Structures are given as C-alpha cells and as structure tokens.
Structure 1
Amino acid sequence: MTDAAAVADHGAVYEPTAKDIRMVIAASSAGTIFEWYDFFIYGTLAAIIGKAFFPSDNATLEVLLVWAGFAVGFGFRPLGAVLFGFLGDRLGRKYTFLVTVTLMGIATAGVGMIPSAATIGIAAPIIVILLRILQGLALGGEYGGAAVYVAEHSPPERRGFYTSFIQASVVGGFVLSLIVVLSCKAAMPADVWESWGWRVPFLLSLLLLAISLWMRLKLSESPVFQAMKEEGEIAKNPLKESFTYPGNPKRIFVALFGIAAGLTVIWYTAMFSGLAFLKGPMKVDDTAAEVIVGLAAALGMGFFIWAGKLSDRIGRKKPIVWGYAVTLVVLFPLFWMMGAVANPALKEAAAKAPVVVTGGQCSYNPFEQKQQATACGRTIAELTKLGVPYKVQPSGNGFDSVKIHIGGREVASEDPALLKPALEAMGYSFDKQVPGVGSLAVILLALLGLSALSGFTYGPVAALLAEMFPPHVRYSSLSIPYHIGTGYFGGFLPFIASLIAAVTGNAYAGLWYTWGVVLVAFLVAAFMLKEPVPGEWDKRAADA
C-alpha cells in the first residue's frame, strides 16, 4: 500500500491507487459485515433464544425479555464509543478496530456455548446479558473506526461513494445472518436445529473473526492519523476535546438527533420490525418471512451505495432530509400494504369478526411473569399471545368480570384457553402461512421501499459525519453521537414497538415510535444541519 508517512500533512492531497482503495474498502467492509453479523444473529434467532435463555409462562414477556437483551447490547454502544474513540484518536484507527472485531467475535461465539436456562438456571440469562454488553462495547468502536479509516483514505470528491460501502456492510451483516440461519436450518433436521443446531451460527463467528483479522492486518494506518502523529497534533484527551472544541457541541447534537436517531429507526423498522411483523401477527411461515426480508435487504444495499454516490454530487444533507420526509408520509401505508396481502384470511376474519373485550378492572401487565391478576387481563394476554387485534370497553362496574364479543357474538370467557377455538370458529386461522407469489411480490416491493428510504438516510452518513468533525477528535466526535442515537433510539425500538403493540392490541401501533423519532430527526436535520464542505478540515489544517 502507498506509504502513508509520505503524506506531509493532513491538508495535503492523498491520492491512493485503485488497488489501495479497493483493499481499504474490502477489508473495512468485510470486518463491518462480520461484526454486524455477530451482533444481528441474536435478533435473527430471537424466538429460539427466548426459549433457551429467557423461558417464561408468559409468551409476551418472553419476547420482551429477548428484545430487552437485544437492547442491552445497544445500550452499551455509547460506552464503547467513548472507550474505543479515545483509543482511536490517541493510538490510531487501525489497531483500535482490530481490538473491536476480536472482542466481538469472542463474545458472539460465547453465546453459542452457554448452557440453556433449563440446565444452569438464572446463570444462563445473566451470562447472555454480560456477553451482549461485550458485543455492545465492541460495536461502539467498530463503526467509527471503519468509517473514519475509509473516509481518511478517500479523496473528498468520492468520499460519499467510498464510505457508502461501510453503510451497505451493516446491511450485509444482517443479510449474512439470515443466509447462515437459513442454510443451517436446511442442512439439519428440525429437531436437531431446535435442540442444538441453532448454536452453529454463533460459533461460526470464530471463522469470520479469523478472516477479518487476516484482512485488516494487511492495512496501513490512516494517512491523516499518521500526519497528525508526525506533527504532534494527537489529542491529549479526545473525549474532553470533543465537547470543548469550538462548535463541536452543536455538531454533536445535530449528529445525534438529526442523523443517528432518524436513520437507525428507519433501518430497524424496515428489517427487524418487518420480520417480526410478518412472523408474528401476520402468521407468515418463518422461513418464508426470513427469505423475503433477506432478499429485500440484499437488493436494498444498492440504494445505500447509490445515495452515497449521489451525495458526492448534490451534497450529504439533501438525500437524508428527503428520506426523512418521504418516510413520514409512507411508513404506515407500506406496512398496511404488507398486512393486506401477507395473510388475507386473517385480515378478513379481523374485519368481519372484530374482538371486543368488556370487563371491570381490565388491566393487562405484559411484564407479569405468571398469570395476570384479573380475568380481563388474562383474556388480553391470550389475545396478545395469539396476535389477534382487540378493543377494550371498560364496564365500569369495578368487578373482576369479563365479556368477549367476536363479531358481535358473545363467547365463553372464563377460560382463556377457550378463546382460540372460538376465534377459529369465526374464521380466524393461526396456522403459519406461505403467501402466494403475487402477495410475496407486494411484500417485497413494500420492504424495498423501506430499504430505499433507509439507503437514502444512511448511505451518505459516514462521509457526512467524518466531514463534520476535526481530524484530531474525529473518531470520538463521530462515534459518540452515532452510537447514542443508534444504541438507544434504534436498539430499544424492537422492545418499545413490541410493548406498544402488546398493550394496545394493534400490530401497527409500534410504528408511531418510529414516526415520532423520524419527525424530530427531520426537523433537526432540515433546520440545523449545515452542509459540510468536503475537505474543509484539511484546508483549515493547511492554512493553520
């Protein structure tokens, strides 16, 4: 690779060869794919993980506990951003993200080795949570390292295009997780998969770790970091300087609320909420749902690269703001489109025979470990478990009583177990369905629409964030708002959306969380985000 030390200062023009830039992009993207594979495999196998490590008599609570564990990993990403951002700005970009990918690979393989809760009891979920924390710490350093590394190797006029491969690689990690899961399921009997075969995708992370390390060890340090090191401009305390450098607090605020929060909820809604929506309330066959979502994600990667390249021509801000605006308009219609064709019989039954629950003390606690305290609560718990939409009409009599009407007809209500046959008698079907070819095409089109919106809001982001912050604190300044936004607004999305849907009895209600976050991001980005000038920090350094 071209000797980075030959760069006189970070204001000098760095012209990597085509071979150089291909290697930089390939190694950085591959590591990003593998690291996000490690992180996403947990969400892809959420149902099995719930049974193995978070078993509960309350099916809804089991799902919420799994997504809470998913969120814990995201919750520790900002701490990882602080820790590894500090190391990246002090010690270098290359070796910092070598450490992050190693930590991620070991933690992921560890999840595949933990005995189930049936074997070691409460220790199982505790160990899972600890390993998720390690994954979160590792991921907090990975994205910033890869994004900064590629950005600092890229000429300003092509930075959006080159860094868009890092953004697409995040999606690639999700696609790879689905491919591995589907391949493993196809290669082994169903009983083997359910008992221990699901552990194989976690253990494969050790192989991916070896490949990633081999590729990344071939890389040289970032030329910008090398130049700063030679000139003695390395930040003494990157964390402190990130918040005290003139103008940086405002830039961090905009990066957090106007960029990271908005783009991440769109992407997680498109992929994880889309997958959970199809497999859950729509009762689509698990494999069929995984294939269609994986295909949409794979095809949608092109939008990330296209948007990144477009941002080199029209600026970073416009694709992001446009993507937010369109999302606010089409988010609900795209999910309604999927719901209309994913399981038409179920939709027709819900329309012809709506469920109305009337009762006193009609409270439902989705976190209840055992049985709900009231008859009305037990009824709602069963409807939530079945994925049936319902409306509640309080009776006002204050007694622990409940009446259930399905299509205007009162049914036996004292025993929740009688609900399922009563619903089936009114046309509801709870068998998993494989939609027809036409319906699958409509679902794919809707998911591609969501992927396109994700691509427009996500594709230019690595270049934008790298250009927003000064080089000597760039790793920290970029990573902290990005991982707070993606860690908390995005990481908690599946949990919050599932909770809202469970409490309201409306499979679409969780989308309001996404809509609200995107609205805030749109307003912040539209009115507060200043279009960065590619190479601006380089020019400032040269002038200084």
Structure 2
Amino acid sequence: MSTAHKATPMTAEERKVIFASSLGTVFEWYDFFLYGSLAAIIAKQFFSGLDSGSAFIFALLAFAAGFIVRPFGALVFGRLGDLIGRKYTFLVTILIMGGATFVVGCLPNYATIGVTAPVILISLRMLQGLALGGEYGGAATYVAEHSPAGKRGAYTSWIQMTATIGLFLSLLVILFTREFTGPDFDVWGWRVPFLVSIALLAVSVWIRLSMNESPAFKKMKEEGKLSKAPLTESFGQWKNLKVVLLALFGLVAGQAVVWYTGQFYALFYLTQVLKVDPKTANLLMTAALVIGTPFFVVFGSLSDKIGRKVVIMSGLLLAIILYIPNTPVSIFNGITHFANPALEKAMATAPATITADVNECSFQFNPTGTSKFTSSCDIAKQVMASNSASYTTIPAPAGSVAVVKIGDVEIPGYSAKGLDPAEAKAKDAEFKKAIRDALTKEGYPVKADPAQMNYVMLVILLSILVILATMSYGPIAAMLVEMFPTRIRYTSMSLPYHIGNGWFGGLLPTISFALVAQNGNIYYGLWYPIIIAAMTLVIGVLFVRETKDVDILNMD
C-alpha cells in the first residue's frame, strides 16, 4: 500500500482548484456557524416562551439539530459524489446551505408567529446540516485527490482550516454589525449577518461552477470502475465497515470533542457561565482564532513527515491533561481566574450547598420546555444554575424541603406542587430575589468586571485551546481519505466524520451545559469531552494504523 513517490510541486491549475474548493467551504462554514455564534440572541428571539435557562438549552438543541442530521446528509450526498462526481455535489450543497441561511435572516420571531417560528428555524437548521453533511467529505476528497504525493497532509489541512476561518468570519461580521446597529442588534441587527450570506452564496456558486472534476474520479469513470452501490459497499461489507468504525471511534469522535470544546464550548463558557459581555467574549475568541488557525497547516505538514496518527493522538492526550478541572494546568480553571476572579474567589470563600431529598432531584434538561420543575430541589438547582453558582448537593431525609446555603446565609426553598399560578409566580420571584441577594452579599458577581479581566492571559489560554484543536483536526482529512478506496471514498469517509463531528461534537455544548446544571459544578461539563477523547486515544493507539504513505490514486 505504500508509495515511493517523491513530493512534487503543484501546478498553477491545481492550486487554483484547491483554493476555489477551500474558499467555497469557508463560506459554507460561515453560514453554519452564524447560528452558534448568536445562540444567546436566537434563544430570546425564537424561544421566548420559555424561562431563560431552558430557552438557551433549547437554542443549543436547535443548533445541535443541524449536527444530528449531518450523517444523513453524508449518506445522501456521499452516494451522489461517488456516483456522479465531486463537482456537482458541491454545487447542490452550497445552494441548500446558503438558501437556508438567508431565510433564517427573514424569519419572523416567536413574538410574531408563535411556536411556528422555532419549528421553521429547526427545519432550516436541519437543511443546513444535510448540506454540510455532503460538503466536508467532498471537499476533503476533492483536495486530497488533487494533492501531490508527500504533501497531502499540508494541502488537506487547508480544508480543516476553513471551519475555523468560517467561525472567525462569522464572529467578525457579527462584531461589525453589532457596532453598526448598537442597541438594535438584539432587536433586528442580528439578522444582518444571515442576510449578507446571499452575497457569499453568489460568490460560492460562481467558484464551484469554475471547478474541474477530481482526476481520481475521472480516472475511475474512464476505466468503468465506479461503484454502482456505494452505500452497500461501504457499510454492507465487514472489511470496509470495520474501517468506518475505527475511523469513527479511533479518530473522529475524540477530534470532534476537542475541536468543539476549544472553539464553541469555550465561547459559551465565557458568556453563559462566567458572564463575560458577548462583545468582549467574541473579541477574545477572534484573537485566539487569529493566533491558532495557522497551526492547522503546521500540524498538517508535520503529519506528512512523522505520520498522521502520532500528531492526532498527541493532540488528544494533551487536551485530556489540560481539560481536567482543578489541577495546576487546568485551562478552564485558568479562564475562570482571569475572566471573573470575583466569581472564583466567591466559590472558594463562600461555597454553596443545596440540602434536599435527592429523590426529588431530576435531570436538569428541559429542551422542549414542557417539563415543569415543581419540586423544591429542582427549583433550587434551576435558580442556582441560572446564576452560574457552583454548589454541592447534600442528601436530606425523604420529604424534606430543599435549603440553599451560600456562605453563612441559608435560604429555605419551596415546592410549587399544588400552587395556583399566581402564588407560584410570587414565590418564584421571592425565592430568586433571596438567592440573588445572598449571592451578592457573599461576593458572587452578576457580571464579569471588565476592569478585573486579564485579557492577555485569556487570549493565551483560548489560543492554546484552539491549537489543541488544530493538532487533532489538522491531519484528519488526509488520514480519512487514505483509509478508503477511491470508488467509495466520498461515502465511506463522510459518515464517520459527520457522526463524530455531528453527534459527539455538535451535541457537546448541549450535553455539557445539561451536566453542569444537573451536577452544580461549573467545570462538570468538561468530563464529557475528557471521556470521549480518552476513549478515542485508547482505540486509536491500539487499533488504527498509520496511513501517510498510502497511494490513494491506486486504491481499488
């Protein structure tokens, strides 16, 4: 399977084709990430019928809906890519993605058309997910099949970079729009980044119409070796299915959680947990992306020299070590220290507890807004979580009413069972005020104080998170392409990539915030990416083989 080809420079035409492919992918990721970057505002606009905590989790779930359907897009468009070619599949995916994004910018909100608004929004997110499910496998396959031998890791790393550049571009457009519209940004200005995507769509379509078909696909077509049933060949035969499963659990799942932790969860952690102003958080994240993004090519190129596997596994190992909370090298403890030192101090000097009947405590995840938390334990946890206050749960005798203790202040809880709506509303307001007053008395801030923030250290820590993502993500496209034969490559590599990034990665913010709300510790959500990355590290080290010397043009 190895090849003796020496690295050769790319022709001008090859560079043009790969640049066109990468640029179109940037625009597609821009469309996709706008929603994630504006999740807090989306929650207010489209899920305003829920309480603020449930609205944000619901908004994250709607964001995740686009990820959930990505594997189905991979199956549909992967099959088309292996049957009719990479170029025309590209064109269809960008049209779907760009059109859905533009419509989001025009969509009336919950106050205007009620529950119809979130239903349409989630439908549009699913269309975006289907399109993106067909995008990545095609882009990675297309670029890899144009790359010269010995430089496949370097050139496909540009495709990896497009996701971060797309996120960066979305943050940049949001920042400029926020400055231009001022206080109206939360009212109508948030629509502008979605609406301007129509211009990006026009450019992307023009770019993709000028592209040539992949030489490997043309060669297969001319030789009459195209697969007649890519799905059956990819997943119906154990020899290929085994490689698909190894790609998912031994590479992509861990890469996905590291990427989404370093870029999306970090942003949500700043704004939702540490209460950093959204504009400041976006600027910090933008600076980190500027610093970290070039490392995609650094690690992609390094994988051409020392191997894909060692680079990816090293990135996972470092991420696991640096994610573990309450250690001297914990990055998220450091982010808390430098972003909201008052919160860190309050948690240390005035720890909070909830003493309650644990049998009355349910899982604090209500994405549909239909569950009503009426037990005293659930109400106490919900209010504490909405104030970003870490707490420890202490078991109490059965039937006990929950008691919240913040430092030396005790606040008795209440049960809403059997209360009429007016009485429940009054008790809720009274309880929330008591909690907030106690938190304020013990030094828990309502918002992060800009004067106390260490911006330099925050950029450094956020940049390290981005660099960890580039380490595990930079070589992944080349390695996935090299694992599968040309005739079923588009289909075979797309599915594990999108299950990994769509489900393991895309659901990370939702799962992690639900874990935080349930456990009460602001760092508890990190155990999800730690466990998934550790699983991938073990499977990858033991069972996944190195691929950097594979000749992908002669894999039949």
| TM-score interval, smaller chain | over 0.9
The answer as to 2:141 corresponding to 1:151 is no
**Are 2:485 and 2:555, in contact at CA under 8 Å, matched by a contact in 1?**
no
CA distance in 2, matches of 1:309, 1:356: 50
Deviation at 1:422, TM superposition (A): 1.9
Aligned residue in 2 for 1:454 = 469
Deviation at 1:126, TM superposition (A): 0.7
Amino acid at match of 2:450: V
The answer as to 2:349 corresponding to 1:352 is yes
Amino acid at match of 1:442: M
Amino acid at match of 1:406: I
* Cα distance change of structure 1 residues 524 and 266 upon mapping to structure 2, 3 Å threshold: same
1:334 is aligned, of 293, 311, 331, to 331
1:297 is aligned, of 289, 300, 303, to 289
The answer as to 2:507 corresponding to 1:506 is no
Deviation at 1:532, TM superposition (A): 1.4
Output aligned runs, 1:85-164, within 5 Å: 85-164=78-157
**Are 2:30 and 2:170, in contact at CA under 8 Å, matched by a contact in 1?**
yes
Deviation at 1:86, TM superposition (A): 0.6
Amino acid at match of 2:93: T
Output aligned runs, 1:347-496, within 5 Å: 347-360=344-357, 362-364=360-362, 365-367=364-366, 369=370, 372-399=373-400, 401-411=401-411, 413=413, 415-417=430-432, 418-434=434-450, 436=452, 439-496=454-511
- Between stretches 520-529 and 53-62, larger displacement belongs to 53-62
Instruction: Normalising by structure 1, report the TM-score.
Output: 0.93
Deviation at 1:424, TM superposition (A): 0.7
1:284-333 CA-partner distances (Å, limit 9, x unpaired): 12111111112112221111110100111111111011111111211131
Deviation at 1:22, TM superposition (A): 2.3
**Are 2:171 and 2:282, in contact at CA under 8 Å, matched by a contact in 1?**
yes
**Are 2:139 and 2:159, in contact at CA under 8 Å, matched by a contact in 1?**
yes
CA distance in 1, matches of 2:276, 2:67: 28
Output aligned runs, 1:14-29, within 5 Å: 17-29=10-22
**Are 1:60 and 1:366, in contact at CA under 8 Å, matched by a contact in 2?**
no
Aligned residue in 2 for 1:205 = 197
DSSP-derived class of the 2:251 partner: helix
DSSP-derived class of the 1:405 partner: strand
Output aligned runs, 1:2-41, within 5 Å: 17-41=10-34
* Cα distance change of structure 1 residues 17 and 316 upon mapping to structure 2, 3 Å threshold: closer
Counting matched residue pairs gives 529
Deviation at 1:402, TM superposition (A): 2.7
Unaligned 5+ segments in structure 1 are 1-10
Deviation at 1:436, TM superposition (A): 4.9
1:481-522 CA-partner distances (Å, limit 9, x unpaired): 111111110111111001001111111101100001001110
Aligned residue in 2 for 1:6 = none
CA distance in 2, matches of 1:16, 1:213: 28
1:82 is aligned, of 72, 75, 84, to 75
* Cα distance change of structure 1 residues 533 and 446 upon mapping to structure 2, 3 Å threshold: closer
- Between stretches 23-32 and 231-240, larger displacement belongs to 23-32
1:454-473 CA-partner distances (Å, limit 9, x unpaired): 11111111111111110011
Aligned residue in 2 for 1:196 = 188
1:74-128 CA-partner distances (Å, limit 9, x unpaired): 1110110000001100100111011101110001111111101111111111101
**Are 1:61 and 1:369, in contact at CA under 8 Å, matched by a contact in 2?**
no
Aligned residue in 1 for 2:423 = none
CA distance in 2, matches of 1:84, 1:518: 28
Amino acid at match of 1:309: S
1:318-352 CA-partner distances (Å, limit 9, x unpaired): 10111111112111311111111111111111211
CA distance in 2, matches of 1:412, 1:121: 36
- Between stretches 56-65 and 311-320, larger displacement belongs to 56-65
CA distance in 1, matches of 2:507, 2:546: 30
CA distance in 2, matches of 1:215, 1:16: 23
Deviation at 1:404, TM superposition (A): 2.3
* Cα distance change of structure 1 residues 24 and 391 upon mapping to structure 2, 3 Å threshold: same
- Between stretches 20-29 and 365-374, larger displacement belongs to 365-374
1:134-180 CA-partner distances (Å, limit 9, x unpaired): 00100000001111111000112111101100001111111111001
CA distance in 1, matches of 2:50, 2:345: 30
Deviation at 1:56, TM superposition (A): 3.6
The answer as to 2:260 corresponding to 1:268 is yes
CA distance in 1, matches of 2:165, 2:451: 26
1:174-203 CA-partner distances (Å, limit 9, x unpaired): 11110011110001121x211111011111
CA distance in 1, matches of 2:95, 2:553: 32
**Are 2:7 and 2:149, in contact at CA under 8 Å, matched by a contact in 1?**
no
CA distance in 1, matches of 2:311, 2:548: 16
CA distance in 1, matches of 2:219, 2:58: 48
* Cα distance change of structure 1 residues 537 and 286 upon mapping to structure 2, 3 Å threshold: closer
Aligned residue in 1 for 2:427 = none
* Cα distance change of structure 1 residues 261 and 404 upon mapping to structure 2, 3 Å threshold: same
1:241-299 CA-partner distances (Å, limit 9, x unpaired): 11245731221011111111111110100111101111122121211111111211222
Aligned residue in 1 for 2:229 = 237
CA distance in 1, matches of 2:365, 2:109: 24
CA distance in 1, matches of 2:140, 2:555: 21
DSSP-derived class of the 1:197 partner: coil
1:195-236 CA-partner distances (Å, limit 9, x unpaired): 111011111111111111111211111111111111111110
CA RMSD of aligned residues (A): 2.0
CA distance in 2, matches of 1:180, 1:308: 28
Aligned residue in 1 for 2:313 = 321
1:259 is aligned, of 251, 254, 264, to 251
Aligned residue in 1 for 2:66 = 73
* Cα distance change of structure 1 residues 211 and 425 upon mapping to structure 2, 3 Å threshold: same
Amino acid at match of 1:139: L
Aligned residue in 1 for 2:210 = 218
Instruction: Normalising by structure 2, report the TM-score.
Output: 0.91
CA distance in 1, matches of 2:322, 2:6: 43
2:220 is aligned, of 217, 221, 228, to 228
DSSP-derived class of the 2:106 partner: coil
CA distance in 1, matches of 2:531, 2:259: 15
Unaligned 5+ segments in structure 2 are 325-329, 415-429
- Between stretches 525-534 and 105-114, larger displacement belongs to 525-534
* Cα distance change of structure 1 residues 306 and 436 upon mapping to structure 2, 3 Å threshold: farther
DSSP-derived class of the 1:189 partner: helix
DSSP-derived class of the 1:247 partner: helix
CA distance in 1, matches of 2:287, 2:224: 48
1:388-423 CA-partner distances (Å, limit 9, x unpaired): 111122321414x23222213324655322211121
CA distance in 2, matches of 1:123, 1:170: 31
The answer as to 2:545 corresponding to 1:530 is yes
Amino acid at match of 1:363: C
